Amino acid sequence: MITLETLLTDIPRIQAKYHPKLEKLKLRTVGDLLRHFPSRYDDLAETIPIISVRGDRSCTIMGTVEKVASKTIPGKRLTITTATFSDDSATIRATWFNQKFLEKNLVVGKQFRVSGRTKVDKSGVFFSAPDIENATSDPRSTGRIVPIYPETAGITSKWLRWQIKLVLDSDIILPDILTGATAQKYDFPTPHDAMRAIHFPDNPDHLENAQRRFAFEDLFLLQVYALTSQAKHTAQSAHTIPFDQQLITQFVANLPFDLTDAQRKASFQILKDLEKPRPMNRLLNGDVGAGKTLVATIAALQVAHDASANKEDQKKQVALLAPTEVLACQHFFTFLRDLEDYDCNIALLTGAYKIYGTCEQLAQTTTKTKLLEKIADGSIDIIIGTHALIQDTVSYKDLALVIVDEQQRFGVGQRSALIDMAHGAKDHTVHVPHFLTMTATPIPRTFALAIFGDLSVSLLDEKPANRKDIKTAIVTPSKQKNIYTFISEELTAGRQGYVILPLVEKSDVGTMAHVKAAKEEQERLQKDVFPDYTVGLLHGKMKSAEKERVMKEFKEHKIDLLVATSVVEVGVDVPNATVMIIENAERFGLSQLHQFRGRIGRSDLQSYCFLFTANHHNARLKALEKHNDGFALAEIDLDLRGPGEFIGRRQSGLPDGAMKNIANIALVTQTREAARHMLITDPGLKNNPDLRGALMHFRTRIHME
């Protein structure tokens, strides 16, 4: 008997040559195959007389084979098969390339359904490579609403339809994760009827009902997951970190600027969470330049200072994880600077750096072994690094707070390790760390509600009072020389700037052949455009020490203009930089463009961002030109590109139904209500084994805490 867990490699009719091709589509089990939903549908249900067929349209006819023949084109390895079909009204041709086997299938005198696209040549209208099926067979690819699937070389929609139809016609049992009451309330079809309707709909209404059910199921499963994860998290025990108001007040008073109201509110929320005996699980969602790092510093100071003030056996630690070495290094030196009046030992651990120290004791390089020993014995209070912090070789004496910067940039496996740290799974300690996730990608409020469940969210939706809005303009090729002149004036006035490009090196492939590359552009700008200034280069393929050297020189103003790839998207902070050019701006997503722009405008100086493009009608670029508010742009981006931009579609593990409908606040509310009711009436899901099994499978591929 075939089940959802049956491997496709174990099905005899699926030949071995298809196995690697199915793997490319990530289709490994029968369940994967059934959930490989169509990306679109061709409505070929209406059969029309041949005389009504017109060129350049998709249609279906029922015709009898009058004749069929093939001819080979010498020297081209090309065989053209042509058949003529007739009905009571007229005749029509159909042609196929390199499908000579059709000569045997298309028996003269037999009737076939023919569905496909028509074309016109000097001999009239004809079908070009249509699908055909015997008139007496059940329609699968012709004469119906036909599903079109995501494909790969060697795996066609026709092949997928054949395999899926055979599975659905078997005695397979599909799980039902919804209660009968829920299905009845929303008039959902049964799981089997819904699965058949989404792959082989009889009419548009059946298709819509199936899509409604699966969208509801996916969001419902996400909501159950979020609520059970939150319950698990809050049931655990964490260190209570008393709010030292005098300490924090003194730290804030010594800052050379005032906190924004949003920073004060977020800091207070976090500090109060740290006082609680259950682990904090909070998202700090801040626009670029809104000061989320400082809020994290306040939280880290509270924990680390509490550690230094207590006895040795009560010391607690903070781990801050960043997605790149450039950002980890910047955090390290920022923490050293901001905490110079406090007795905190701070370490930097990445693939290339093993550093520790305080501001009184200059940071010193050490060996990885020695640094790991200091982390393990509690000598280090704040540990900053990349994914190196979550390797098995790293052991913490008493980790009380985990801060993750840009969590969506970590892979699924790395996220799992982060969750294990927060849940205490690595060492099974009695207390688990408080967990603070930061993101500089503004997340729409409705989206945050759906995706993060009951996760506490602090918003930094205002910038420091001295910051001016960045003036942004779309610049077509004819006006780019004027911008170079303007930038020269800014550089002459002592300012600095960026030029952002999508590629490191020039490509000769397809559409990328016309895209500028960083290395080539840096050489051109230095030689031909800004010969009187120093033009630097920064990209992801450079070694860590080289990247750090370039950034250090840029911060020290030894470099006037920095040509870079997306490596500068997050975290780089040079207040003197006031101008930016984004080349081939149409190639970037709106959220990414906003992140780039956030590298300037980080002081009281007026800043300017120029979007170089030949496509001045691009909707994303027009939105960026109009709006400086990241949260407004996030809502626009959600409409333009969908939610994958915010959490990383490939890494999130979210099912497509949830991804496509996650901005549907009505559906989110309905599924949240259903999930709450389910967990109240059946907390352990003992009465719904199908839901329990689906939830276990779901947990293996999603990490969204």
Structure confidence by residue, pLDDT tens digits, 45-58? 999 999 999 999 99
Q: Answer with the one of 580, 604, 627 that is the final residue of a domain.
A: 627
The DSSP annotation for 178-246 comes to: S-HHHHHHTTPPPHHHHHHHHHS-SSHHHHHHHHHHHHHHHHHHHHHHHHHHHHHHHTSB-------HH
Does one domain contain both 318 and 259? yes
Does one domain contain both 336 and 420? yes
How many angstroms separate the CA atoms of 560 and 578, rounded? 11
Does one domain contain both 259 and 401? yes
Does one domain contain both 321 and 395? yes
**pTM of the prediction?**
0.66
On whether residue 280 sits in a domain, the answer given is no
Phi and psi torsions of 260, nearest 5°: -75, 165
Does one domain contain both 50 and 157? no
- The answer to whether 147 and 199 are in contact (CB under 8 A) is yes
Contacts 24+ apart (CB under 8 A), 198-201: 198/37, 198/38, 199/34, 199/37, 199/38, 199/147, 199/161, 199/164, 199/165, 199/168, 200/140, 200/144, 200/145, 200/147, 200/161, 200/165, 200/168, 201/41, 201/144, 201/145
**Which tokens go with 52?**
């009504």
If you compute the radius of gyration of the chain from its CA atoms, what whole number of angstroms results?
30
Q: How confident is the model over 126-156, as pLDDT tens digits?
A: 999 999 999 999 898 999 999 999 999 999 9
Query: What's 544's domain CATH number?
Result: 3.40.50.300
Who's near 154: CB < 8 A, 6+ residues apart? 17, 18, 21
- For residue 435, the Cα-to-chain-centroid distance in whole angstroms is 21
Average pLDDT along the chain: 85
Query: What's 134's domain CATH number?
Result: 2.40.50.140
Low-confidence residues of the chain, pLDDT below 50?
A: 311-313, 359-360, 411-412, 415, 425, 427-428, 508-514, 644-653, 703-705
Does one domain contain both 28 and 64? no
The total domain count for the chain is 4
What is the domain extent for residue 73?
46-143
Does one domain contain both 396 and 543? no
On whether residue 202 sits in a domain, the answer given is no
- DSSP letter at 299 equals H
The DSSP annotation for 626-643 comes to: H---HHHHHHHHHHHH-T
pLDDT for residue 701: 61
**Which tokens go with 3?**
């089940």
- The answer to whether 465 and 595 are in contact (CB under 8 A) is no
Does one domain contain both 424 and 519? no
Q: How confident is the model over 622-641, as pLDDT tens digits?
A: 999 998 877 778 777 766 66
Does one domain contain both 318 and 302? yes
pLDDT for residue 562: 94
Does one domain contain both 30 and 162? yes
On whether residue 483 sits in a domain, the answer given is yes
pLDDT for residue 448: 61
